[in-house]
Amino acid sequence: MSSPPNDINGNILLPSRIKYNILIKIMITNNEKIEKKEPNISQCILDYLFNLGVKKIFTVPGAHIDFFLVQAINDGRFEIILASHEQGAGYMADGAARMSGSPSIVATINGPGASNLITSAVTARLGNSPVIFLTGDIPSHLYGYGGFQGSDPISSNTKEIFIAAITNSHTIFNYTDFIEITNLTNNLVSTFPRRPVHWNLPNDVAMTSVPKRIALPNNSYNDGNNTPLSPEWLPIIPSSSESKILLYVGNEIENPQEIKEIALFSKKYSIPIVVSFGAKNIQPFIDDNLFFGVFGYAGGPRAFKAMLDPTLETLLIFGVVLNERNTYAWSNEFYASNRKIIRFSNNNKSIRKSSIYIHEIKSNPIEAIKGIDIYWGKKESLISQDYNNRKKWIEELMLIPRIPPTVIKQNQSGKYGIYLGQAISFMNDHLKPDTPFFLDSGNHRIYGGAFWEVKTVNTFFSASQNAPMGWAIGAAIGASFVDKNKQIWVLTGDGCMQMHGMELAIAAKYHCKVIIVVSNNKSYGRVSARLKKIPLHVVNQLTSLPNISWVQFAESFGVPGKQVITIEELKSVIMEIQDFKGPYLIDLITDPEEPYPFSQAIFSSSTQITD
């Protein structure tokens, strides 16, 4: 008897009737397993997640993930959060992970579900957010047949997509694979800098019985790799008595212990600190007279003056990715030839080419600071060192405002709307200091970055490295499940709302205490700003958005709201909703012609924009 025909990959080609019979048999067998309630790999995954501290599963259901989700519901330890879109579900998991500091999970089908997750996956990677992206897949023995919404190369090619997005992807084929993958996952989600991970789960494997439910140990967090100090780099460290030394701290520094060590180091030697936009959340750790604010995109006057001082002698960089947004678009002023630039990072992938030589040192900040401290202690007497020259420099810089002066709009008639910078400053002054603030991507992010002062640890969140529009909406909703008693505020835009505003339905369903503030200028403001010199009729075609009443949109989901045009109206709403128990939307009508808070810090990937 002749052998069955093979395809070009060597897979056996089965007639449609045989495939259908196989699927029917699988379904019957799986139903029997469910009824018998045999221990299975899905239950083992749930045990693992519970021990990680996961309590919420963000999801958009589908055939290939249904079994796992049913198991999770029957398990009783988890709450299932249904999102409107897979990308929104990914943002919610990302927000929950950032808010809690613990891993979170999003579960979807393969095919379009997996591909819709990619932007949130990339965003989680760039934000060092420990999210597990779980995709349900077709039965493993049907790989290679082009199964509907499958992960194999002739279908979605999910593995390669996630490897490209977050550098790792693991398919669970059996219990041994599961144990190995959880060990790998522990390192990714619990060791700083943390990383997201992708798990792919064929639905037949999800239902596979295991001999015994093994109790997995609780996961313990690791404060990072204690890289041994290399004496080779210590001689390049300058004297602590130099007049002008500056610390530049970036969003790779997320471990609280690392932040504290940097803060203590700054205070001990009177060295001022500037941060990248993504590291603004560390502000509460730093002495106010040594915190100079944000440098680069959405930065402020004092940080720019310090960083671009032509007489700056040494720049010590901790965890800053030297991309164009963090170096003032690769400005020659940043790379001044007369300064020494030393960069410490554990992340080899963040090394960037630059116009001059930068001393790149692979070391975590704690070890680097210990080494410098010991080195300076041996070479110099701290007792006699008062850093008078540096203190004089700091005093001069303190005369320059850290935050750009708030532009006050004189005309409050409401014809054009409120100035956004003024509204943000007002919210910052009148909301509780520990209010979590999620800032979305778009023109409004420039104003939020400039005017929002972080007063309490772990309260400022923005996807600074990837900047996907609408991220903050889903992320804040996800974060609201971490602490249901805390009111969370979001600043987003009308363009972002058109992308992911439908997640308001989820906020309404679960009574999330999320306040959505929509900067409504009826345009893609960032695009409009970049195209100032292009004829108006062309700009309008590329940037004009529909005139949508976001209050009516919110009310369609049962979410109350109010349109705001003046500061007095904003004040009234804040007072009214300060103890509001559910979601609320503020349609903030903003002026598209508002001047930028600090035009030197506004630029795109290809051009610097000036007013």
pLDDT at 9 over 70: no
Q: Which of 103-107, 340-344, 357-361 has the lowest mean pLDDT?
A: 357-361
Average pLDDT over residues 165-189: 93
pLDDT at 286 over 70: yes
d(CA 202, CA 107): 13
Quickly state the pLDDT bin for 225 (edges 50, 70, 90): very low
Q: How many CB atoms within 10 Å of residue 430? A: 13
* Among 506, 439, 471, 466, CA closest to 56: 506
- Per the model's pLDDT, the better-predicted residue between 245 and 331 turns out to be 245
- Confidence (pLDDT) at 146: 66
pLDDT at 32 over 50: no
- Confidence (pLDDT) at 224: 37
Quickly state the pLDDT bin for 415 (edges 50, 70, 90): low
Average pLDDT over residues 458-482: 92
Average pLDDT over residues 204-216: 74
d(CA 146, CA 142): 8
**Residue 210 DSSP SS3:** coil
- Confidence (pLDDT) at 407: 73
Highest mean pLDDT among 32-41, 109-118, 333-342: 109-118
Per-residue model confidence as pLDDT tens digits over 122-161: 999 999 999 999 999 999 888 877 678 888 887 889 999 9
Are 497 and 550 spatial neighbours (Cβ–Cβ below 8 Å)? yes
- Confidence (pLDDT) at 390: 86
Are 506 and 81 spatial neighbours (Cβ–Cβ below 8 Å)? yes
Quickly state the pLDDT bin for 15 (edges 50, 70, 90): very low
pLDDT at 551 over 90: yes
- Confidence (pLDDT) at 142: 81
Q: Which of 21-25, 182-186, 205-209 has the lowest mean pLDDT?
A: 21-25
Q: Which residues contact 109 (CB under 8 A, 6 or more apart)?
A: 60, 61, 62, 63, 64, 65, 135, 136, 149
Are 490 and 515 spatial neighbours (Cβ–Cβ below 8 Å)? yes
Per-residue model confidence as pLDDT tens digits over 63-111: 888 889 988 998 999 999 989 899 999 999 999 999 998 999 999 999 8
Q: DSSP secondary-structure letter at 403?
A: S
- Residue 442 φ/ψ, nearest 5 degrees: 145, -165
Per-residue model confidence as pLDDT tens digits over 503-529: 999 999 999 999 999 999 988 877 777
- Confidence (pLDDT) at 608: 38
What are the E-state strand segments in 20-149? 56-59, 79-82, 104-109, 131-137
What is the CA angle 499-502-507, rounded to 5?
130
- Confidence (pLDDT) at 559: 98
**CB-count burial class (<10 Å; 0-12, 13-18, 19+) for 156:** buried
d(CA 175, CA 205): 9
Average pLDDT over residues 182-187: 92
**CB-count burial class (<10 Å; 0-12, 13-18, 19+) for 357:** exposed
